[in-house]
Amino acid sequence: MALISAINPLLTAGWQTGGHEWRMEKDAGWRLKDYEARGGYKALRKIINDKLTQDDVIGEVKKSALRGRGGAGFPTGLKWGFMPKAAPVKYIVCNTDEGEPGTFKDRDLLRYDPHSVIEGMIIAGYAVGAALGYNYIHGEIYEIYQRFEEALDEARAAGYLGGNILGSGFNFDLFAHQGWGAYICGEESALLESIEGKKGQPRFKPPFPANVGLYGKPTTINNTESFAAIPFIFNIGGENYLNLGKPNNGGTKLYSVSGHVNRPGNYEVPMGTPFATLLEMAGGMRGGRKLKAVIPGGSSAPVLPAEIMMDCTMDYDSLAKAGSMLGSGAVIVMDETVCMVKALERLSYFYFEESCGQCTPCREGTGWLYRIVHRIEHGQGRADDLELLNSLTENIMGRTICALGDAAALPVRSFTKHFKSEFEYHIEHKKCLVPPDVQYEGSKIYVRPSAC
Amino acid sequence: MLSEDALKKIDREVAKYPADQKQSAVMAALVIAQDEKGWLDRETIGDVADYLGMAQIAAYEVATFYNMYDLAPVGKHKLTVCTNLPCALSGGVHAADYLKKKLGIDFNETTPDGMFTLKEGECLGACGDAPVLLVNNKRMCCFMTPEEIDKLIAECK
Ligand SMILES: Cc1cc2nc3c(=O)[nH]c(=O)nc-3n(C[C@H](O)[C@H](O)[C@H](O)COP(=O)(O)O)c2cc1C
Ligand code: FES
């Protein structure tokens, strides 16, 4: 804690993190009574009691400089402001289809603090004038989906959901929709198709969901962590939230740290925290080994070599400047035992497997990328393969309906750029630069000490 | 046909959506059908579509699009192990190898006694708890060391 306090005086003044960290560490109880005991639903009550207008609520969110936590970092207040006022039917949708490799924060939010998401969605409904919402939950976390449904029942019974909420005349109901195994449904328009009971294939944009969304109606769609931040913003005030982080990068952020650290897990820190601090919080490098590379924002974000990463702070602007992105906040840490060709091969397989098949450059291109990286890894690489990979990525990027194509291309471009010599060695010598027994040791089953 | 109990569960899903949007319940309805039948044959998918008043082909499209629907019989326990990169850095592949050896099958195979099917999974959204695996789509098992895997297999038998 001492480290964090040093970063920001507001934190020493009593505003801890967004409140998630201690809940996760101590599992402070997910039930309604536990949530209320720690100040839950106070933000909603205050908004209703003070009769805040829709513009007041959106204005406060704008002040907080909250940026969407789902990957693109779009300002949440601005997004809410896009919703047409006059439309009679509107929807709120939460994106908990967390399938970006490396990301596991939304699962913990729903597991330990489902009511913060519910309260955030109700406030969003109030702000944009929507009466119905859905939370789309990743199919693989069925037990969490069940818990969320229980939390919804609690909220309904307590009068936070349903008709005339807390006597305000405002109606809002909320339901959970389960996914069933399709990464592409994390893309917002594919997710809307999926709620409509169809294949999850992304839609052309524009029109954006704020104009034509679920069932063709204006829809606000945000990530789970974005909604969970909303009550906290109203409890401490938009400006204070902003000041927790740094300008244009307001508040705190949950980072899912995985890979070669001593304590993989979720850590919430203020925006702008040095990567070195986060690494230290996650227990440092496993076995004292040397850091080789980090993917700082989920598998779709460009990889960064250790030297560059150690100079970064964890926020949108710093990582963009370094040539990567904050993405979903999934920090994948790799040490010197990792063969970068093999690592990329696995990621490329993922995008090949998950492409929805709608756009030719992505459907065919992801297969090409995988097969070429595969042949390099397996000692059959050809002299011009790196050039071929590069031209393939150029033929994918920007030529598809959604960003999955770019997400498949960016790892290829960044791995081959920063670790070019390793790929060249593979092609020339038909084997890994990192000896197989070293790789084997480094990828053995590791369970963090406190987990058993 | 699906049982009364299954239809009741489907009704509960249908009630979540606007009255003219019954098709929205098709994903959940197919899950309910799969739980009851073990896997989804064409007839079952057709029954679900009829019940929701949608074209059979539209339900079939959904069933073939999403990974966790089983369109062919699987073992009594379907084990899906995540081997994606974040998990692989903490033993995902080693855990899968251990399972393959223990069960004597490869990915996409079923043990001769029909008890276990092994699948390779993509990110389950639990990378910090690696190695992770899913039992029959719905139960997530975390920190799967060889000892934990032994326990799980013994419990399933
Ligand atoms: C292939 C792909 C996968 C995505 N997966 C997710 C996801 O799992 N969760 C998420 O919140 N956003 C995901 N997104 C981003 C969403 O499209 C959308 O930007 C986000 O839900 C908006 O919420 P926010 O503004 O609160 O970040 C994905 C985007 C793409 C292109
Ligand atoms: S990579 Fe295995 S659960 Fe995320």
* Domain residue ranges of chain B, discontinuous segments joined by +: 4-65, 77-156
Please give the residue of chain A at the shortest CA–CA distance from B145: A445
E strands present in A152-234: 173-178, 219-223
How does DSSP classify residue A197? T
Residue B2 has a pLDDT of 95
Q: Which residues of A are less than 8 Å from B30 in CB distance? A: 180
pTM, rounded to two decimals: 0.96
Are A268 and B138 within 8 A, CB to CB?
no
Ligand 1 in reach of A201 Cβ (< 6 A):
no
Among residues 37-66 of chain B, which lie with CB inside 8 Å of chain A? Answer: 52, 54, 58, 61-62, 65-66
Residue A449's pLDDT is 77
Predicted confidence at residue A250, as pLDDT, reads 87
Ligand 2 pocket residue status of A213, Cβ below 6 Å: no
- At the top level of CATH, the class of B77-156 is alpha beta
Handedness of CA A118, A119, A125, A131 (dihedral sign): positive
Could you tell me if A124 and A227 are in contact, meaning their C-beta atoms sit under 8 angstroms apart? yes
Q: Which CATH number fits domain B4-65: 3.30.1330.100, 1.10.10.1590, 2.60.40.420, 1.10.3470.10?
A: 1.10.10.1590
pLDDT 10s digits, B2-49: 999 999 999 999 999 999 999 999 999 999 999 999 999 999 999 999
**Reported ipTM:** 0.98
Amino acid A124: pLDDT? 98
Cα separation, B108 vs B118, in Å, equals 6
B80 sits in which H/E element: strand B77-82
Q: Which position has the token pair 């790892």? A: A411
Dist. CA A425 → ligand 1 center (Å) = 36
As a whole-number percent, the residues of chain B with pLDDT over 90 amount to 99
Eight-class DSSP state of A226: H
CB contact under 8 A, A102 and B85: yes
Tokens coding A331: 């920090």
A residues 339-358 closer than 8 Å to B (CB): 343, 346-347, 350, 353-354, 356
Burial label for A428, CB within 10 Å (0-12, 13-18, 19+), is exposed
- Assess whether the C-beta atom of A400 lies below 6 angstroms from ligand 1: no
Which residues does chain A have within 8 Å of residue B91's beta carbon, measured at their own beta carbons? 443-446
B35–chain A Cβ distance below 8 A for any pair: no
CB-defined contacts A:B, below 8 A = 180
Mean pLDDT of chain B: 97
Q: How many whole angstroms from A144 Cα to the centroid of ligand 2?
A: 16
CB atoms A102 and B127 under 8 Å: yes
List the end-to-end C-alpha distance of chain B, in Å, as a whole number. 29
Ligand 1: residue whose CA is nearest its atom 23: A222
- The per-residue pLDDT string of chain A (452 residues; one tens digit each, 9 = 90 and over) reads 333 433 444 444 444 455 555 555 567 789 999 999 989 999 999 999 999 999 999 999 999 999 999 999 999 999 999 999 999 999 999 999 999 999 999 999 999 999 999 999 999 999 999 999 999 999 999 999 999 999 999 999 999 999 999 999 999 999 999 999 999 999 999 999 999 999 999 999 999 999 999 999 999 999 999 999 999 999 999 999 999 998 888 899 999 999 999 999 999 999 999 999 999 999 999 999 999 999 999 999 999 999 999 999 999 999 999 999 999 999 999 999 999 999 999 999 999 999 999 999 999 999 999 999 999 999 999 999 999 999 999 999 999 999 999 999 999 999 999 999 999 999 999 999 999 999 999 999 998 876 54
Q: Do A196 and B65 lie within an 8 Å CB cutoff?
A: no
**Spatial distance between the Cα atoms of A282 and A262, rounded to a whole number of angstroms:** 6
Three-class DSSP category at A138? coil
CA dihedral A293, A298, A301, A306 (to 10 degrees): -20
What per-residue confidence (pLDDT) applies to B110? 98
The structure tokens 């409509």 sit at A196
d(CA A183, CA A98) in angstroms, rounded, equals 8
| Cross-chain residue pair A264–B90, CB shorter than 8 Å | yes
CB distance A344 to A300 below 8 Å: no
- The whole-angstrom separation of Cα B84 and Cα B81 is 9
Q: Is the CB of A304 under 6 A from ligand 1?
A: no
Cβ pair A445:B90 closer than 8 A: yes
The answer to whether the B4-65 and B77-156 domains have the same CATH topology is no
d(CA B33, CA B45): 8
Rounded CA-CA distance A89/A154 in Å is: 26
**pLDDT confidence of residue A23:** 55
Q: Using most ligand atoms within 8 A of CB, pick from A69, A141, A188 the residue to mutate for ligand 1.
A: A188
Instruction: Select the residue of A141, A196, A353 nearest B23 (Cβ to Cβ).
Output: A196
